A and B are shown apart, each in its own frame.
Chain A
Amino acid sequence: MSVSADTNATESSRLFGLLVEFEDPNDLVSACRRVRDAGFEKWDAHTPFPIHGMDDAMGIRGTRLPLLILASGMTGLLLALLMQWWMNAVDYPLVISGKPLFGLPANIPVTFELTVLFSALATFFGMWGLNGMPRLYHPVFKSQRFRRATSDRFFIVIETTDPLFDSDRTREFVNSLGGTAVEDLKE
């Protein structure tokens, strides 16, 4: 495999990181293991679809998202019960066929729906929030090559802000990862 390093001649802006391209997801997974074992922290892999084994290959820990969803779902459940009780039994008591003003069975459907709704909203927006989305600008978008990250190419980016980053040694390391191309990313 030939590795071509496009080091840009005009060093006008600061370096954001080094981008390595792979054509085969298998190569990417092996490379990620090496980056992880080298001890880098400020780095990422970009793929057109989720790849199994990557969480471990990258050393990603579990997300807090499920806890957030549980909390939100419980809030929805309590709010639904509180709303129905207050509106139909307290604020404007509504007598229907002489039935109790607040009875759990009749209030279950709305409670269920609001629990699901609150959980789903937390899932949807929680995923955005934890992923820092929407973020319409990112240095990787400057790379013409990176446009294939959402189609058929696989990438690793090691950022300069990583404490282990050293412009010469990291470049050497990146070249040894077995990618098909290496590119500098500008801030």
Chain B
Amino acid sequence: MKTVAVETLDAAAAGRAPDDNTLNDPTQHTPLVLGDNDFTSLTDKVCGIVEKPRPPKAWYVAFAASTALTGVLFLMIGYLILTGVGVWGVNNPVGWGWAIVNFVFWVGIGHAGTLISAILFLLRQKWRTSINRFAEAMTIFAVICAGIFPAIHVGRIWVVHWLFPIPNYQAMWPNFRSPLLWDVFAVGTYMLVSLMFWYTGMIPDLATLRDRAVTKLRHSIYGFFALGWRGSHRHWHRYEKAYLILAGLATPLVLSVHSVVSFDFATSQLPGWHTTIFPPYFVAGAIFSGFAMVGTLLLPARKWFGLKEIVTLYHLENMNKIILVTGSMVGYAYATEFFIAWYSGNTTEAFTFVNRAFGPYAWAYWIMVTCNVVSPQLFWFKKLRTNTTVMMFVYILVNIGMWFERFVITVTSLSRDFLPGSWGYYSPTIVDILTFAGSFGLFFTLFLLFIRYLPMVAMAEVKTVIPIAHIEGEHRPVGDYHGDIPHTHVDNDAGVHQKGDKR
């Protein structure tokens, strides 16, 4: 039996490339880390990226470009505050322009990180360990970018604290029955919980960097943030419990966040917005767009930093399958919206959808459909979903398509509502465009700093899934961050027992 398993797992013998572990045979364990890696080499590889005196040249080029764009973002925000929201293209009837589109776009991107880190964790998808740190970082930076837009959209930004229930001179409180206020709580909680989850996961790895530090400064800084972690198993016991509970909390939270974002639209009475399909449809779209963004960042990062043995083709293929599923769900939601618009017999609703597909914004609608519904269908074919060039192509298209989805939803409904007399056509100004481009600058700047100074692969977690050379007995004593099952003990030579069993 064992020889057969070894033969089929050996990629070269089966005529596949040596770095191809996409056999997907359910009777065999797929190797999640390739090459001759053990605990030592994993630590060296991941820490080596951060410890190198200089990053690769491409990093400098990317960093210069993204900081320049970040500068543009802050210039545009400054100009907006000094002049007023008139510098944007928003006016009657379209009062929600690019700012809201960008907000929904960035919040949506964040969702993939939480899906990978929390939901796949609860589902015991062990392949997540190679990419979860990376994806969680993306979540946090995307939520930072998202938070900027509603804050600068309020007009009088100097009274933005009125969004929060803190006493002010008018002695008024926020309206807790408004979905816009729900957003403040949902996105704020999401940001804080994501940050805590990310940091909790990073504590053991920060301790690794501390223990390998060669200069006093590095030792002090990493040591400070590692909080004195020393791998004590009594600590690991509570740590694993905390990590599991944080995953359990983040799971319903992430579903609630984009649901609440969709309520901003769905609780209004505007045709095209006032629908019950919005929460699940928004959540599926969010995960779809987020996975595309994770892929966009992951492909160059694994190449530049030599992580192809840790972030393998199998990981990418799994992500592409999720993109195919969620992309098809989004396509199904588009079709359902049309069906309901016709089936409801509501003429305004029916008009809104015909107008979306064939009205003045038809160009945006068909970009959205091509990118979001058609392009992921390439992933039905294994040859295409395991080809990195095709992947990158689809990821970029999905990123574009999902931005256009939010544009179509926001702008088409507002520009043509019940009264033809109040119709209009919305176009952005150069300030709108530069602000959005600038938010990408901020996103990439934060990301480049992250891959330079923090461990981008969760080392402690990956070590629990690598094949270990010498396993005595049947059961691997290595954990997967889920903690032990109470009242059981694991025997190296006899498997798992209940507490009462004779040893």
Contact = CB atoms under 8 A, between A and B. Distances in A.
Interface of A: 24-26, 29-30, 44-58, 60, 62-63, 65-66, 69, 83-84, 87-88, 91-92, 94, 96, 99, 103, 106-107, 109-110, 112-114, 116-117, 119-121, 123-124, 126-128, 130-131, 133-138, 140-141, 146-152, 155
A139 B165 CA distance: 46
Contact of A56 (B175, B200, B484): B484
Interface in B219-254: 223-224, 227-242, 245-246, 249-250, 252-253
A49 B483 CA distance: 11
B9 interface: no
Interface residues of B, number: 83
Given A107-B177, A119-B249, 7 more contacts: A25-B477, A49-B464, A50-B481, A51-B236, A127-B200, A131-B235, A146-B230
A65 B242 contact: yes
Nearest to A130: B238
Contact of B228 (A130, A134, A155): A134
A30 B240 CA distance: 22
Contact of B484 (A25, A55, A116): A55
B173 A46 contact: no
> Which secondary structure dominates chain B's binding surface?
helix
Contacts of A83: 165
Given A109-B186, A123-B246, A127-B242, A46 B232 contact: yes
Nearest to B203: A133
B196 interface: yes
B479 A49 contact: yes
A161 B224 CA distance: 28
Contacts of B204: 48-49, 150
B256 interface: yes
A113 B490 contact: no
B421 interface: no
Given A24-B470, A65-B238, A94-B175, A113 B233 contact: no
B245 A53 contact: no
A119 B239 CA distance: 15
A66 B241 contact: yes
A113 B366 CA distance: 36
Given A50-B479, A124-B242, A133 B229 contact: yes
A138 B228 contact: yes
A56 B174 CA distance: 51
Interface in B18-55: 38-40, 43
Contacts of A117: 189, 192-193
Contact of A66 (B177, B232, B245, B263): B245
Contacts of B175: 88, 94, 96
Contacts of B177: 88, 96, 99, 103, 106-107
A25 B40 CA distance: 14
A86 B490 CA distance: 53
A53 to B, nearest CB: 3
The CB with the most chain A CB atoms within 10 A, among B177, B188, B229, B481, is that of B177
Contacts of A92: 171-173
B80 to A, nearest CB: 29
B92 interface: no
